[in-house]
């Protein structure tokens, strides 16, 4: 699993961010503890959550 950057997330719609969060979450459970894939998944989820929070704070 690769890291999804904040820059990539700027181009995504709200529904795409939600779908991506779900996809990465499902991928996370298939990773081994302390593996690079797991770290990337966790960091990607954090980035997605942050992007969603920023959009909610800024409003429509």
Q: What is the pLDDT of residue 16?
A: 97
pTM, to two decimals: 0.90
If pLDDT is split at 50, 70 and 90, which confidence band does 60 have? low
The Cα 25–Cα 11 span in angstroms is: 20
List pLDDT tens digits, range 8-49. 999 999 999 999 999 999 999 999 999 999 999 999 999 999
Choose between 12 and 58: higher pLDDT: 12
- State the Cα–Cα distance between residues 58 and 40, nearest whole angstrom: 27
CA distance 4 to 25: 13
What pLDDT does 58 receive? 83
**CA distances for 53 relative to 10, 18, 48, 56, angstroms:** 12, 12, 9, 5
């Amino acid at each position: 699993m690769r890291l999804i950057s904040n820059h990539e997330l700027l181009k995504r719609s709200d529904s795409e961010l939600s779908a991506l969060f779900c996809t990465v979450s499902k991928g996370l459970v298939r990773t081994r503890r302390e593996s690079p894939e797991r770290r990337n998944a966790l960091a990607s989820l954090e980035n997605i959550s942050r992007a969603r929070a920023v959009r909610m704070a800024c409003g429509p």
